[in-house]
Amino acid sequence: MTPSRKVVGVLLTVISFAITIGILWFPKSDTKYRFDISKKKGSSSFQAPKKNVWADLTRDEANSIYDFLVEEWTELNVTRIPKTGRENFILTVETLQPNKSDVLPYLWQNHKEPERWAKVVLSYNEGDKPQLIYHAVGPLPVSAETTRVVPLTYPFTSGRNAVSNLMTDFVASQEFSLSLAEEISDITIELLGARVNRQNPYDPDALLAFPRFTRHESGHLLGWIQLFRPGAGSSGRTLLPQGIYARVDASSSNVSDWTVDDWFYNGLVYNSVEEFREAIKNPEFLKTPPNVDGPWTDTEDFDTQPEGRELPPPVSIQPYGPRYKLDRSEKYVSWFGFEFYLTSTQATGVSLFDIRFKGERVMYELSLQEALAHYAGDDPMAGGQEFLDTFFGMGTNAFELVPGYDCPAYADYLDTELHRGGKSDRLPSNICIFEFTSDYLLSRHTAQYSVTASRNTYLTIRSVSTVGNYDYTIDYVFYLDGAIEVKVRASGYIYGAFYANNPYKHEDEYGHRVHTALSTSMHDHVINFKADLDVAGSANDMVRLAIEPTVISYPWDQPYTQERNTMHLKEYAVTHETGLDWPKNSGELYIVYSRSAKNAWGERKGYRIASGTGMGNAPHLTVVNSTALGRSAAWAARDLWVVRHKDTEPRGADPLNYLAAHAPLVDFAALADAERLAAADDLVVYFNVGSHHVPHSGDVPNTLMHTSASGVMFVPHNFADRDPSRESVQGVRVQLQGRRSGGFAGEVPGGDVPGEGEEDLRVREKSSGGRYKMHEGANYFGTPYGEDVKLRLEDLEPDLERRYESKDIRVSDLGLNGSAAGIWAAAP
């Protein structure tokens, strides 16, 4: 019943007090209350329980390491800030993650903090065999007495700490490609109606030339150079390939020694440029139309106004401030039982460490390992094109997020710093943290006299890595029941193929025609993550809990049913390091159990690994024994893997594998080598997300995120005694009549309506001895909104002129040295 106005004045005070202390009872009232969110304050006093031992280097730490190494490596003539790729210089400096065996005693036994070390990559270019070499520097802080530099070999299955640098002089390689295009300007004008324009590369009709190089097992470095139309400042170059290709032997480290072998156009190979020119003169020579830029590659439409676009869409708000706690200095987060640290690395981006739920251990580490894209096609570029994106830097290319678009306006934003090429660069606001309420409930139930609905709120840690043409949105998502999801969504320009209309082309074998002279290239995205599970401790084992059909004879069925066709659970222990695929018909549950910890019912505490929300099951690589990838991505052959944790195997891949595909620094096959798993091992699961991408017309101009999403979830399995979200969730029980719950129509004797004095079995005594009094109408659990909210425009539409800092973003190209080139190409 609605309270009388005489009571309202008293209720104002009660409700205000209830909001403050979290009382769950909110009576109905027509009175409105206002709360100005501009006055909200964060929890600045919140502190992490321990220091973040995985944190990236500070700028002062990086500067001291640069100074130390320049002095230490005097005889190597190391340049701190290189001006060309031919100098000896320190490519990257970042934290060397401490060994788990050193961290756990610090976290759980109050042992001393692990020593802090740095990992550096030296670009060494003396002689004719340039190399990229890993070293470790420490302990930190730098001290002339104690700090030393040693070769870093223990994380690599190869035993090596270096790879050959296939492309040291990036500018020279670009010059070679442009010069080659200029030499055939007569051909490009004839076939494409355009030529290279060095004076104005943004000329909408000008051509650019880019190579794709591959190291073959023979040791030869071969590349195909393809021409592209850049468009009028368009970033859609990968939609504008042209159909002329030249094969280059780039085996020499001296670009002046490179040679051009073959030419390819419209399905035919020509052994020389002269042969190509003569063929063009033939009246029967088959030409294809050029691929020309235009509005069709634009990602924005500022003019069209269909009905409804005149109104802004709904947005999420957070009027009372965040419900999570954040220690910015240590990058430590606490939210409804979850606690964890986060950090970022240049190769792999955001990683999470020491994930706990309700005080119990769940994971030691959750981190990206590698992101692969493997193409197929009938032209020299698409036919063998592959990328390992950590080489270009998933953290290096994690750029500033757009408030109100990438993340809600109310999100917290964190910066990262890069220490590369003698300098430190800040990447502002490239990680966001926010709580969000889903458009679907966490749970609900309708009974005869009540309806209960629980809102589904979750916490997200988000970053976006833009590698060349693709933007990967990477989410770590935490749910109130203890579930954790890893989700990746892709957008950006597809890497298209030139549409060749000739008798040799197999229609739609590799993709679809999507414009006048553009077809799509099918490709696999396989993105690998590491989950070092510590389910209630490090002593874990893994099982496959199968749901199998069976035929059973029950005594209670006799004599009418001799045998019953049914199903049952059958457990299979995973006894060796192995790879697994998602089971047919979802017929198995993959569960990592604590070896000894049990819940109140005697069931072992566990976490289930399941293919998460998205476009079907997360995939593995279609290509078997990839010619281009060699041994650099064995992890992509199965959906997930289970291996033993070893300090000497901290990662399943290395960014420099891209330069040594057939002899990688980290060969995943050496990690997952069928070693027997002991009864109480410390297990690590490597798992893949991604998609088999067959682009279609809807991918032009950009691939859409809702059709490219993929995820894997870690779901509590008997981890708690009951659903832990009941303690944290916000919801409502709408009591329709009286106080009784449950029941079905016709079950109440005589059809009586429950009276006020009848006991409600859904209401239990609270641990404090208090008792909640159920009443007709809305009964809230958790704290609902109880007053009007005053909103600023900034909370609905952030002022991006003020809040977005970046003026120039160095998006990496996808050339062999595109990532490293950004260090010195712009140096004076």
Q: Give me 268's structure tokens.
A: 């035919």
Q: Is 427 strand, coil or helix?
A: strand
Tokens 């955001």, residue located: 350
Cβ atoms 668, 685 nearer than 8 A: no
Per annotation, catalytic residue among 354, 389, 524, 541: 389
Separation CA 211–CA 226 (nearest Å) = 6
Q: What is the DSSP string of 478-517?
A: EETTS-EEEEEEEEE----EE---STT--TTSS--EEETT
CB neighbourhood size of 765 (10 A): 9
Per annotation, catalytic residue among 470, 476, 590, 607: 470
Q: Which amino acid is it at 531? A: A
Separation CA 158–CA 651 (nearest Å) = 13
Separation CA 373–CA 636 (nearest Å) = 11
Residues 6+ apart with CB under 8 A from 697: 512, 514
Strands 78-79 and 88-96: parallel
Cβ atoms 653, 528 nearer than 8 A: yes
Compute the CA torsion angle 650, 132, 345, 666 (nearest 10 deg).
-20
Rg of the chain taking only CA atoms, in angstroms: 31
- What separation in angstroms does the CA of 424 have from each of 264, 418, 428, 463, 739? 44, 5, 13, 20, 64
Q: Please name which of 724, 733, 722, 783 lies closest in space to residue 760, comparing C-alpha atoms.
A: 733
Helix (H) or strand (E) holding 539: none
Which letter does DSSP use for residue 79 in this model?
E
Tokens 């916000």, residue located: 730
Residue 658 annotated in active site: no
How far is C-alpha 192 from the chain's CA centre?
39
Query: How many distinct helices (H) and strands (E) make up the chain?
Result: 10, 40
Cβ atoms 785, 29 nearer than 8 A: no
CB neighbourhood size of 263 (10 A): 24
CB neighbourhood size of 179 (10 A): 12
SS3 assignment for 310-371: CCCCCCCCCCCCCCCEEECCCCEEEECCEEEEEEEECCCEEEEEEEEECCEEEEEEEEEEEE
Separation CA 115–CA 595 (nearest Å) = 31
Residue 389 annotated in active site: yes
CB neighbourhood size of 97 (10 A): 21
Long-range CB contacts (< 8 A, 24+ apart) of 201-208? 201/230, 202/230, 202/232, 202/233, 204/229, 204/230, 204/231, 204/232, 204/293, 205/229, 206/230, 207/181, 207/242, 208/178, 208/181, 208/237
Q: Which amino acid is it at 226? A: Q
Tokens 């320049």, residue located: 70
Separation CA 397–CA 346 (nearest Å) = 8
Q: Give me 111's structure tokens.
A: 């042992």
Separation CA 564–CA 557 (nearest Å) = 8
Q: What is the DSSP string of 154-166?
A: TT-TTS--EEE-S
Tokens 């934290």, residue located: 95
Separation CA 400–CA 379 (nearest Å) = 36
Tokens 């990257």, residue located: 92
**Is residue 558 exposed (0-12), middle (13-18) or buried (19+ Cβ within 10 Å)?**
exposed
- Active site amino acids: 389, 470
